[in-house]
Chains A and B, each alone.
Chain A
Amino acid sequence: MSRRDRGSVWRFLLPVGFLAFTAATVAAVLFKDWMPPVASEHGKGVDGMITYILCAAGLIFVAGHLLLAKFIFTSGADDAPAYKPIGNKAEMLFTIGPTIFILLISEIGVLFIGNPIWGQVFKEDPEDFQIEVIAKQFEWIAHYPGRDGKFGPFRMEKYDEVDNIAALWKKDKESRDDLVVRGKLILPAGKACQIRIKSFDVLHSFNIPAFRTKQDAVPGIYTKTRFVATTPGDYEIACAEICGVNHYKMKAKVQVLPLEKYMKWLEEEPGFFE
């Protein structure tokens, strides 16, 4: 251990390193949009929430690293006079100030920006279109209630890999007109949809990154999520909860149609047992 560290390269190297790291991170946030283009109403809110935290947390991140670099760079030499206490008041200000600041900005964010949007995602509204999504190893199946507006009940005993992938039963009268689409979710633009998620086997997670939607599919219960797709176009569903070997291949297309086209598709598409 060298006792004369005044000329140590680390006095320069560390602050430069920390500052370069800070600058690179900030630049990466500022100059590139990392998020997939947003295509749902609440998704804009989620992005707003993230932007808020980015600003607040970025401030703390930058200030902290600036201080760290400053303290290291200006620290005294080893043969400098011994440490003199800073004084209680200054220390209190330095410790309690940032603490309260961080608490306030994070709680304000979650209470006033985050929670209202969280509420939108889990709102129950009878006006919403109801669509069911079935998750199974390793595919997504969309299940629409059909003209009667009622989902046929699942008859797991009737499940068949080839003929009855959705485990419905043709003798149930609610099931007869139900639509079942394998590997593709067709949605209306501009209309709120509540997705009821069902899993046949293990945990999966229904994730449409462009919508900022993510909800686990839990066997045994229905989970629900809600969104309004804003822009017609093609998107993707990914699985965000490990579900086995082919987890990475468990994807499906999302097709957002203008409302009239969607209604027309609903009308014309023959039911599962028709």
Chain B
Amino acid sequence: MALTHSHGTDAAHGHDHPSGFWSKYIFSFDHKVIGVQYLILACIMGLIGAGLSVWFRTQLAWPGKAGMSPENYVMAVTMHGTIMIFFVVSLSLSSGLGNFCIPLQIGARDMAYPLLNMLSFWTIVPGAAIMVASFFVEGGGAAGGWTSYPPLSALPKAAPGSGTGQTLWLLAMAIFVVSFTLGGLNYVATILNLRARGMTLMRMPITIWTYFISAVLGLLSFPALTAAAIMLLLDRHGGTSFFLPSKLILSGQLQTNTGGTPLLFQHLFWFLGHPEVYILVLPAVGIAFDVLAANARRPVMGYKASVFALWAIAFLGMIVWGHHMFISGMNPYLGKYFSISTLIITAPFALLGVCLLGTLWRARIRFNTPMLFALGLISAVGTGGIGGLFLATATADLHFHDTYFVVGHFHLMIGVTSLMGTFAGIYYWFPKMFGRTMNETLGKLHFVGTMVGTFVVFTVQHFQGMGGMTRRYYEYVNEYVKPAAALNPLVTIFAFIAFGSQLIFLVNFFWSMFAGAKASKNPWEATTLEWTAESPAGHGNWNEPPVVRGDPYRYGEGADGKGWKLQTDA
């Protein structure tokens, strides 16, 4: 049934195996090297982003003891959000692990357009540098929240960070969007065109499905942010009034803008913003499926149902952005619509959840580090998802909007779930990256710290949100919020634990790269295609093109008591 045709990437693949240091490690075309480069960049940015959170958590727990001014505080929360979402989770999960595992799992030599792949990495580097540089300009980095709603972000007089800092923020985001779009084009073309013989769409590992869907979502939703950024830049530097209404008064002075509307920005922003959540969460869930199947020694439950659920989530995710705007002044009837449509997403999400859970049914679990993270992810995605029920209901959102309930909820989803998936993926594919395994003891310590730290922090934040504790407050001076704010020192202590365990991970990651135990070709006895390549896989991944002869999760199959079969086995 499989037609054969060469994939015609002569131009792209027509270069010899690189030998020099620069072409091998820095300007490499090899998707595996580029993936690792993304991971390392994400580690650096992660230290900055998480460091910011340690700083402002200290301020929240012990006001005035962190050496932080209110100006610093709003800047720190803004930059923490931006860096974490776009330069840590996106870079490590989507770009890093995606680049690494897509060609390996579908049986391609490389991405469809390796040059473009290399360029998209080297586009993001200056983006990250600009984002970091914005801390050091006059007025500091952007301070309008990661959502950077105008007029706050449009008028330099409105906030100290809304001067040069905000301009650099927009510039860095524009660069990010360009890089991410180029990456997404590569993902889509690679997955559609370069699958090995026999790798039909319904034989792809769920990881590949999630990367495909998140790339499609990115291509469809990021342009809205680009449009918003263009208009915001024009408002800031061209004197236009796309988002600025007439007759604003700032510092006692009448502004000259006329006729814009701030709500427009919010619509454009959240048209990106909500799919962005799924762009970050779905690949983590996909990786968890792979890791769970390999270490539960059984096929995933409901492969087809999961793929269907993923598409349903992606489609519905494009039409529910307004649930971030229930109380924004949007027409209340739209509030009802967005509430009802958002709650429909619970169905495919529940389907995905039970498929994750069901994959443990009658399992023979191997408790290695990647598996622990995958198990933690099940709890995180379930707990976080349940918080979503409250926020999707417009009526309940009247109380929860912009409180710590929201903070706890989205950190559990795009923070904990995404990073648990990322860590599971890194521990799982590390042997394929470097031919060595990561240290298991340190890995398990990392897991316990992450699990205990993050779960306490973000669950308690839900309760603080119930107490009406508002987001982005430098200090809690209101009376009603005192009982909820009293929990801040507790949250901060556990945040320190969570942060400290990430340091363990960094040590483990860089140490194991050079000194980890040597790994075999298939250390986890997994069935998907990447485990037929050498560890570490060489440039071009395979000498012979692999031919796929079965489903991705062939556990419980196979003769001679082995109980599993590679995807290439007859």
Contacts and interface: CB of A to CB of B under 8 A. Distances in A.
Measured as residues with beta carbon below 8 angstroms from the partner, the interface class of chain B is: 35 or more
Contacts of B151: 201-203, 219
B350 A45 contact: no
Contacts of A137: 158, 250
A229 to B, nearest CB: 15
28 contacts: A5-B367, A10-B367, A34-B466, A35-B468, A71-B360, A72-B375, A76-B364, A77-B364, A83-B363, A83-B364, A83-B556, A84-B362, A96-B351, A99-B354, A101-B350, A102-B346, A110-B339, A115-B394, A118-B339, A159-B254, A202-B151, A215-B329, A216-B328, A218-B262, A218-B263, A220-B246, A221-B263, A245-B143
Given A8-B367, A218-B263, A251-B478, A244 B302 contact: no
Contacts of A46: 395-396, 398-399
B82 interface: no
Nearest to A234: B479
B364 A111 contact: no
B91 to A, nearest CB: 25
Interface stretch (B35-43, B108-116, B381-389): B381-389
A159 B480 contact: no
A219 B262 contact: yes
A245 B466 CA distance: 25
A76 B296 CA distance: 9
B261 interface: yes
B556 A82 contact: yes
A182 interface: no
B395 A94 contact: no
Interface in A86-128: 86, 91, 94-96, 98-103, 106-107, 109-111, 113-115, 117-119, 121-122
B390 interface: yes
A236 B332 CA distance: 25
A113 B160 CA distance: 43
Nearest to B309: A99
B366 interface: yes
Interface in A1-37: 1, 3, 5, 8, 10-11, 14, 17-18, 21, 25, 28, 34-36
Interface in A229-270: 235-236, 238-249, 251
A77 B152 CA distance: 58
B440 interface: yes
B178 interface: no
B301 A49 contact: no
A238 B364 contact: no
A210 B470 CA distance: 13
Interface of B: 70-71, 74, 143-145, 149, 151-152, 155, 158-160, 245-250, 252, 254, 260-263, 296-299, 301-302, 305, 327-329, 332, 335-336, 339-340, 343-344, 346-348, 350-351, 353-355, 357-358, 360-368, 372, 375, 378-379, 382-383, 386, 389-390, 392-396, 398-399, 401-403, 437, 440, 451, 455, 459, 463, 466-468, 470-481, 484, 523-524, 555-556, 558, 561, 563-564
Contact of B70 (A202, A219, A223, A248): A248
A228 B86 CA distance: 43
A136 B254 CA distance: 13
A75 B359 CA distance: 11
Nearest to B77: A242
A137 B555 CA distance: 62
A65 B390 contact: no
A137 B253 CA distance: 13
Residue of B74, B250, B399 with most partner-chain A CB within 10 A: B399
Contacts of B386: 57, 60-61
A221 B261 contact: yes
Given A1-B368, A94-B301, A118-B335, 4 more contacts: A21-B455, A61-B386, A106-B392, A242-B145
B451 A110 contact: no
Given A68-B357, A201-B248, A91 B297 contact: no
A106 B327 contact: no
A94 B466 CA distance: 32
Contacts of A82: 297, 555-556, 558, 561, 563-564
A110 B398 contact: no
B393 A49 contact: yes
**Ordered nearest first, which 10 A-B pairs have the shortest CB separation?**
A220-B245, A209-B468, A83-B556, A82-B563, A71-B360, A114-B395, A10-B367, A34-B466, A83-B298, A122-B332
A145 B470 CA distance: 31
B393 A103 contact: no
A95 B355 contact: yes
Contacts of B351: 95-96, 99
B200 to A, nearest CB: 21
B149 A34 contact: no
Interface string A37-68: 00000000110011001001100110011011
Contacts of A107: 340, 343-344
Measured as residues with beta carbon below 8 angstroms from the partner, the interface class of chain A is: 35 or more
B474 to A, nearest CB: 4
A106 B346 contact: yes
Nearest to B466: A34
B332 A34 contact: no
A214 interface: yes
A61 B382 contact: yes
A95 B302 contact: yes
Residue of B379, B383, B481 with most partner-chain A CB within 10 A: B379
A98 B332 contact: no
A94 B354 contact: yes
A111 to B, nearest CB: 7
B368 to A, nearest CB: 5
Contact of A78 (B305, B364, B402, B475): B364
B343 A214 contact: no
A14 to B, nearest CB: 6
A207 interface: yes
A111 B70 CA distance: 42
Nearest to B265: A203
A210 B468 CA distance: 9
B249 A94 contact: no
Given A1-B440, A61-B382, A61-B383, A36 B468 contact: yes
A5 B564 CA distance: 18
Contacts of A194: none
A213 interface: yes
Interface string A191-210: 00000000011110101011
